[in-house]
Amino acid sequence: MTFRFQLHHTDAETGARRGTFTTPHGPVETPGFMPVGTQGTVKGLTIDHVASTGAHMILGNTYHLGLRPGHQTVRALGGLHAMSGWEGPILTDSGGFQVFSLKGINKISEHSVVFRSHIDGALIDLTPEHSIEIQESLGSDVAMVLDHVVALPAERGEVQQAMERSIRWAKRCLEYASRDDQAKFAIVQGGLDVDLRVQCARELAAMDFEGYAVGGLSVGETPDEMYRITAATTPELPAEKPRYLMGVGRPIDLLESVVRGIDLFDCVMPTRNGRNGFAFTDSGPIKIRNAKHKTDTSPLDESCDCLTCTRHSRGYLRHLFIAGEMLGPTLLSLHNLTYYQKVMRGAREAIQENRLAEFIATKKSQWGIT
């Protein structure tokens, strides 16, 4: 079997899951975090950097790669794996989130979403079928279906219409797909309405997808609202398939969502924050530009074994940012991704030993979260 999700253990107290998702390009240990490589690169990092963080799987963006360099060019270069040099699994999103965020320059119909390229203004007609066609050209291990994303807050009628369209589009994606070596993941929509989420999850679960995602969150709602919807959605999804919470989030959001049954995550936060001088550590967040770090010879995080922490001081890192050197964002991005993998690795070990609640309590104390 090309794809398989093996559930190794369920935490006795929280119900969190420890598993392995097997793909043509290798296994993904879960719960796991995927660095975001929007345009075929995790910004500022080489593929060897990304591998050194402990990441098993990375994410590529269908919208951006479909526009530039174009999916036919990626295919001519051997696919996204060959083009980028990443040898592990890759997940590509459908482009839906990016397209529907282009407010005022897209037109949505049952057939497709029509929008203008942000690069050259060309008119693009993105159907569910074309989204899959692009992703099959990219050659990712996992292709996400095209869904209709609604900005929150929104009227219930609008959310319901988008949710129902997402179900119909998911079916079209599944029927069009032709690659046996590419898994298809459906995306549950429904805004902050539990009934709509449950309906969507149940209808999608009746289709033969290799995995399921919870989408349309981390778009401005409170963390508690996100946790509420996640907790209501995951029980409706097949236990034998991986569950992916899209675009999330802070380390505490990952852990709180693992408790609620999520297996996979992605987010630009560790790299975006790293490029802006913000580091995640076991002693809480660090803003490296702050003057108090000017002559600090200590590492960014004494408990971290990444290149940034084993070779460089806080004082040096601050100097790089103040001087505008490109190495600064690279080193903090490298550290943040390593830290996210460390948190996920700790969660996996804690689940296996039935102590996830204790692990989370310790992390919250370290991060100063009450």
Q: Is 107 within the bounds of a domain?
A: yes
The domain boundary, picked from 232, 266, 300, lies at 266
Is 266 annotated in the active site? yes
Q: Which of 253, 263, 266, 301 is catalytic?
A: 266
Q: Is 4 within the bounds of a domain?
A: no
Same domain, 180 and 272: no
Per-residue pLDDT 10s for the chain (370 aa) are: 589 999 999 999 999 999 999 999 999 999 999 999 999 999 999 999 999 999 999 999 999 999 999 999 999 999 999 999 999 999 999 888 887 777 776 889 999 999 888 889 889 999 999 999 999 999 999 999 999 998 888 999 999 999 999 999 999 999 999 999 999 999 999 999 999 999 999 999 999 999 999 999 988 899 999 999 999 999 999 999 999 999 999 999 999 999 999 999 999 999 999 999 999 999 999 999 999 999 999 999 999 999 999 999 999 999 999 999 999 999 999 999 999 999 999 999 999 999 999 999 999 999 999 8
| pLDDT given at position 167 | 98
| pLDDT given at position 1 | 59
- Flag whether 44 is marked binding: no
Residue 143 DSSP SS3: strand
Q: Is 5 within the bounds of a domain?
A: no
Same domain, 201 and 309: no
> Do 332 and 280 meet the contact criterion of CB atoms below 8 Å apart?
no
Q: Which CATH number does the domain housing residue 136 bear? A: 3.20.20.105
What's the total number of domains in the chain? 2
Same domain, 262 and 272: no
Which DSSP helix (H) or strand (E) runs through 236?
A: none
The domain boundary, picked from 243, 266, 289, lies at 266
The domain boundary, picked from 210, 234, 266, lies at 266
Same domain, 107 and 233: yes
What is the domain range of residue 135? 12-266
- Flag whether 319 is marked binding: no
Same domain, 258 and 362: no
Q: Is 89 within the bounds of a domain?
A: yes
Same domain, 292 and 226: no
- Flag whether 208 is marked binding: no
Q: Is 63 within the bounds of a domain?
A: yes
Q: Is 276 within the bounds of a domain?
A: yes
Same domain, 259 and 300: no
Q: How far apart are CA 9 and CA 11, in angstroms?
A: 7
> Do 60 and 111 meet the contact criterion of CB atoms below 8 Å apart?
no
Same domain, 288 and 141: no
Same domain, 51 and 89: yes
| pLDDT given at position 118 | 86
| pLDDT given at position 34 | 98
Based on the number of CB atoms within 10 Å of its own CB, is 346 exposed (0-12), middle (13-18) or buried (19 or more)? middle
Task: Tell me the β-bridge partners of 21.
Answer: 5, 28
Same domain, 287 and 257: no
Same domain, 289 and 260: no
Q: Is 1 within the bounds of a domain?
A: no
- Flag whether 267 is marked binding: no
Same domain, 233 and 277: no
Q: Which of 93, 141, 263, 301 is catalytic?
A: 93
Q: Is 165 within the bounds of a domain?
A: yes
DSSP per position, 16-61: -EEEEEEETTEEEEESEEE-B-TTSS-TT--HHHHHHTT-S-EEEE
